[in-house]
Structure 1
Amino acid sequence: MMRWIESHIPGGRKTALLALAFFAVTSLTIALTRFGDALALVWFGTAILVTALIALPRAHWTPVIWCFAALSAVATSLFGFGPHMALQLAAANVFEGYVIARLLLALRPQRDWLESVDGMIVLIVAGGIVGPALAAIPGAFMVALVTPGGWLPHAVDWVASHALGTLLGFPIVYLTASHARPKGAAAVGLPLILEGTAHALTVGAVTALVFLQAQLPLLFLPIVPLLFAAFRLGRTGASIGLITIAVIAIGSLSTGAGFSLPVLNAFGDKVLFLQFYLAVLLLLALPVSVALKQRQLLFDELEEQRALKGLISDHSDDALLNLDSAGLVRFASPASERLSGRDELIGRPLTAFFEPLDEALVLSVLGHAANEPGRTCVLERPVLRGDEQIWLEARVRAVPLAKTAGRIAGYAVTIRDVTASKQAELRALQEADTDALTGLPNRRAFLRHLDAQLAYAADRPFVFAIIDLDRFKCVNDTHGHDAGDMALRRVAAAMGRLSAPERFFARLGGDEFALIAENHDPAEAVALCEELCAAVAALDLPAPDDSTFSLTASVGLARIDRPCSASLALQAADGPLYAAKSGGGNRVGVATATRTQPKIGRPVSSNRAA
């Protein structure tokens, strides 16, 4: 028979073994638990059929259903209601298994019926309520035709026995058929088997003590070893314990040994009570085993995360920190000591990584992160490590306290050395603000500096000057653009020699330059500009034909003592510059206070002509 099933039924050897188990279990169930020619007290067959179906694609279900229906009919014919009801009851039985399998796969396709609370609820609803209830409608009707009693009592018996058997049997059948074992079971197979056997014997001994005596109400005692087995072996332990209790309790009921309660005189009442008792144990042990499985999965995940965290922290150049709610370090990766410059960080605040002057800024970032736990706050500051300045970037994220709104458990922080990228950023900014030909700040940098000075001109007046080279176009036309570029670089070098922290020279474009001088009174500013004109006029500039030429410069100077726009400031210096160039060049023009008539400075003495 085994070979025939293997060759004709999808699923191979596994399906064949399940089919033989189905026939054996249903035959024993019918033969041993049908009291008074009624329905079996516990029906395990559906659990085996459901396991066989969910292990196969739906396209292969039909031959499996026909096979199990035939086996059910044979078992009913031999040990149950006889051949005249065998096919009808077989149809109801396989219909129940089909409904339960379809519901399990449709509602929980991830197949976590024994691993999550939601999956367990689906199993209870599908296998303990919906499937048995639907099959009970035709099944109870057919039983009522051949046994005493109405349809409703038989329907209740059907639902109770089939639901109880499915929920009792499915965990152990499914786990056995799918080879689902705890992690590491392959390495400790024998110890696991021995422990399972020990739990089964313990549960059996306690259950026998309870059911084989009638003097003391000790029905609560099997709960203790049952829960202990569930705690130690999870779903497998709970299933072994429940089936052990069921077998001994049914045996006690069938033999009449023990199992005597004053309120249960009728045999039917004892059957109902035993079903209720087993259902209570089932609903107690199965959720506990599922919760323990989830707890174990969570611990395994935490261990994996801890191992990964350790691996990352040990080999990362970034500092990985865990802070408590007060901002003190609870965990620091090895890179933390290098980036902080400290040997011990546990118990220290995050400010230990930064300069003392940045303490308020660091605390502010922690406060912002605490107010928005889902947001990552970034802090980037320079710090001194010996004689070297480095840049540190800290990313801070608050960890909310579970089930407590508005409170945090701590902070997750990463700190990295961003000196290289910061230096590259500063170089890029410097290059963007530098004139490529002369090396002076360009017009963009000048306007930014000018705007900053104009904002506080009322409190800090300054001198603003525009410098224009006289007749520079002739240089390009006579000596060529290369000579002109060289001349601009030499003029810029002369400005560099006159530079100081309070003097800002820039190239505006072409042969036009600008100067912002702080803390200079008008006389000092005029003297500085005349010195610049003299320095320009004194330059010996080589021409391509080995001759030399010279340049002169004109300056328009204005004192800015009130806030205004950059364009107005430029206009204030443009007038004196125009006047200086109109006067022959090589001189400084100064705007008067009224800015209506510029004052022309004296020509700068020079023996050279432009």
Structure 2
Amino acid sequence: MVKVSGLRAFPLIVFGLAYFVVCAGTLRLTRFDGGVAFLWIATALLTARLTTLPVRQWAGPLAVCSLASITATSLWGFGPAMAVPFAIINMLEAAIGATLLHRLAPRRPVLDSNRWLVNFVIATGVVAPLISAWLAAAIIALGAGQPPLKNAVNWYSGHALGTLTFMPIFMLVMRGDAARLIKRMDRSRLAEFCVLMALVSILCYLSFGQNRAPLLFLPMLPMVLATFRGGALAAAASIVILALIGGALTLHGHGPIAQIDAPIGTRMQFLQLYIACVMLTILPASAELQQRTNLFRKLRESEARYRLLTENSTDIVVNLDRTGRLQFVSASVKQISGFDPEELVGRPASALVQPDSAAQARAAFRRTIAEPDRTHVDEFRVAIGQGDIRWFEVQSHAVKDEAGHVTGVVSAIRDVSHRKAREESLARAALTDPLTGLANRRGLDEELKQRLSSGSGGCLALFDLDHFKRINDTHGHAAGDEVLRRFAALARASVRAQDLVARVGGEEFAVVLPDATISQATLVCDRLRRAISGTDLRVEHGLISVTVSGGVAPYLRDQSAEEVLRAADQALYRAKHAGRDQLALAA
């Protein structure tokens, strides 16, 4: 026995009464020749309710609707003897439809896409009524001796059409979507919605209220307009209006369908076919419009975020087509280079770099197109403004369409002239590692001592490439050198312009992060660690996957360089012995 609390009892009773009224109405009005009802709306009401509840709360609605079904069938259907089996079949049909819809389209808005519509039709318009139709036909054949095929067809068509026609509007109302959509409308939109619904009602009445001309096409005009202007709510409401007005007038002998020389059951089946055709025209259009509306909304949001980033970023963001011509240049180019973005659009990007770097730029672009799943980092010299030459670092990634075809390249460009000047100064003082172009151990010591003596705090990070000896032994020293160079390039791309990356020796590297807190340094270093682990190096014999371990230590003015290095080295030791490919902080 189902126990219902006092707070829930009243809504359940109201819902059960509504189900009973719908059952009684369809049985009284659409049951002909002692057979099943030609239109059944009650299943749409119950299935819509079940889709709004978790399965554990289905018992209450199923119980009250079972009682309502038994009562209605006993009074106006096949009588008390068959009322219980029919109630079980009706409840089973609703449960099957709701279960399938839960699985095929969980928590999806009504009519939000054609995929939802297809799943809705399969679940509630095909599978559920098909199962219940054969069960009901078997019960009728056994209990009333009527032919099963005819009743199965009538049951299926009545239940499937009733559910597909009325369930969308029931779902919109029960989920609260209808109320939310109406609340979002301003006065003009609400007035337009009311006018469209009135227009649909008037033309439906004009089409079915006269017997002179076959005007069944006439309601389609305002229904299509209502779908385009009012969305899912207007589309679902229009179909319900058509079914109610068309069905009522046809039952009373009015309209083109009522003039067909056939029994009333045949006329109602033709009306069902007509409503089904209208529904299969309107609902897919509504779903497609809703899907495009959602897509345009996401595009607007994405464009707003992209514009916010590009307009407030100190980096230059550009888009290039497949030929290498600039399609978009962010406004920051004016501040950095002195060029107007409009002047650059349409020009080949390689024409902006110095002649000695043009071939390198074209090769980098072709490499980005050829390897679209990687981020490529390159540096070029560019003449800006009054002919001043600056160095720019370019991080590029290919852009692909839905089919996976490369349509262009997006690049983030950063002025690294200060860093290049510092690197050149270090090279002149023999402070640069010849393999990677980074500062060597001597350069690191001088940089760290300078930072400690300046009084500003910061952090030092030490990195060690995991299992580097194995790479040398397996792929050769040339491959090992390429791994070191790749780490150096990714490290430079991952840190700030004021940070220093150094090769301490062998496979060990250091990063000095002045004015960085331990949390900021951890974010930067973890970004570098993830960039290394997500990059595969192509060598002659295949791909090399590399990971790196790191230790991070803060430094203060009163510390010595040896103390800071020792603290970072101890943190690195803990990271390596904790499993590698991770960071550890100084204790």
> TM-score if structure 2 supplies the norm length?
0.66
The answer as to 2:406 corresponding to 1:369 is no
The aligned counterpart of 2:240 is: 243
Cα 1:99/1:260, change in 2 over 3 Å: closer
2:402 pairs with 1:399:
no
Shift of 1:339: 3.4
Aligned partners of 1:190 and 1:24: how far apart in 2? Answer: 34
In the other structure, the counterpart of 1:305 is: 302
Q: 1:276-312, CA deviations, whole angstroms, 9 ceiling, x for partnerless residues?
A: 1111112221111111110000010001011111111
Per-residue deviation, 1:226: 1.6
Residue equivalent to 2:278: 281
Are residue 133 (structure 1) and residue 163 (structure 2) matched?
A: no
Q: Which amino acid aligns with 1:26?
A: C
1: CA distance between counterparts of 2:181 and 2:254?
Answer: 42
3-state SS, counterpart of residue 415 of structure 1: strand
- C-alpha separation in 1, matches of 2:344 and 2:84: 77
Per the alignment, residue 6 of structure 2 pairs with 7
Name the residue aligned to 1:379. Answer: 378
Amino acid in structure 2 at the alignment position of 1:232: R
Q: Give distance in 1, aligned partners of 2:56 and 2:187.
A: 38
Residues 128, 166 of structure 1: 8 Å contact kept: yes
Residue 357 of structure 1 aligns with which residue? 356
Residue 256 of structure 1 deviates from its aligned partner by 0.7
**1:247-286 mapped onto 2 (5 Å cutoff):** 247-260=244-257, 264-286=261-283
1:290 and 1:111 map into 2 onto residues whose CA distance is 12
- Once the 2 structures are TM-superposed, how far is the Cα of residue 182 of structure 1 from its aligned partner? 9.6
User: Does the Cα contact within 8 Å between 1:6 and 1:16 map onto a contact in 2?
Assistant: no
Task: Give the Cα–Cα distance (whole angstroms) in 2 for the partners of residues 184 and 262 of structure 1.
Answer: 40
Between stretches 167-176 and 132-141, larger displacement belongs to 132-141
Amino acid at match of 2:391: W
User: Residue 204 of structure 2: SS of its match in structure 1?
Assistant: helix
1-side partners of 2:77 and 2:361: how far apart? 80
Q: 1:263 to 1:76 in 2, by over 3 A?
A: closer
**In the alignment, residue 232 of structure 2 is paired with which amino acid?**
R
Q: Structure 1 210/251 Cα, relative in aligned 2: closer, same or farther at 3 Å?
A: same
After TM superposition, the score normalised by the length of structure 1 is 0.64
Corresponding position of 1:412: 410
Say if 1:394 and 1:416, in contact at 8 Å, map to a contact too: yes
Cα offsets for 1:150-173 (capped at 9, x unmatched): 111101111111111111111111
> Quick one: which of 287, 290, 298 aligns to 1:290?
287
For the 8 Å contact 1:397–1:413, the answer to whether it is kept is: yes
355 and 186 in structure 1: CA distance in 2 versus 1, 3 angstrom threshold: farther
Q: 2:215 maps to what in 1?
A: 218
Contact 1:116 1:290 in 2 (8 A): yes
In 2, distance between residues paired with 1:197 and 1:144?
A: 47
Instruction: Report how far residue 335 of structure 1 moved.
Output: 1.0
1:56 Cα deviation from its structure 2 partner: 1.9
- For 2:349 and 2:179, the matched residues in 1 are separated by 42
Q: Percent identity?
A: 32
1:410-436 Cα deviation digits (max 9, x unpaired) = 332221223455456667774255795
Find the aligned partners of 2:95 and 2:81 in 1 and give their Cα distance: 23
Aligned to 2:162: 165
1:111 to 92, 105, 108: 108
Query: 1:435 and 1:153 mapped to 2: Cα distance?
Result: 92
For residue 431 of structure 1, give the secondary structure of its aligned residue in structure 2.
coil
Contact 1:65 1:94 in 2 (8 A): yes
Q: How does 1:95-110 map to 2 (within 5 A)?
A: 95-110=92-107
CA deviation map 1:200-220 (0-9, x unaligned): 222222222322334433323
Whichever residue aligns with residue 233 of structure 2, its letter is T
Instruction: Give me the CA root mean square deviation.
Output: 3.1
1:154 aligns with 2:155: no
3-state SS of paired residue (1:410): strand
Match of 1:196 among 193, 196, 199: 193
For residues 440-484 of structure 1, give each alpha carbon's deviation from its aligned partner in whole angstroms, at most 9, with x where no partner exists. xxxxxxxxxxxxxxxxxxxxxxxxxxxxxxxxxxxxxxxxxxxxx
Question: Per-residue deviation at 1:52?
Answer: 1.8
Deviation at 1:264, TM superposition (A): 4.5
Distance 1:93 1:417, change over 3 A: same
Partner of 2:520: none
1:185 positional shift: 4.9
| Structure 1 residue 146, shift from structure 2 partner | 6.4
**Equivalent position amino acid for 1:377 in 2:** H
Distance 1:322 1:104, change over 3 A: same
Q: Is the 8 A contact 2:250 2:257 kept in 1?
A: no
- Which residue of the partner structure matches residue 27 of structure 1? 24
* Letter of the 1:170 counterpart: M
User: Cα distance, 1:330 vs. partner?
Assistant: 2.8
1:321 aligns with 2:310: no
The answer as to 2:204 corresponding to 1:207 is: yes
CA distance in 1, matches of 2:15, 2:418: 67
CA contact (8 A) 1:204 1:245 kept: yes
Q: 1:375 deviation in Å?
A: 3.9
> Where do 5+ consecutive residues of structure 2 fail to align?
434-439, 446-587
* 1:40 counterpart = 2:37: yes
Change (3 A) 1:50 1:424: farther
Which amino acid in structure 2 is aligned with residue 351 of structure 1?
S
In the TM superposition, residue 340 of structure 1 has moved relative to its aligned partner by 3.4
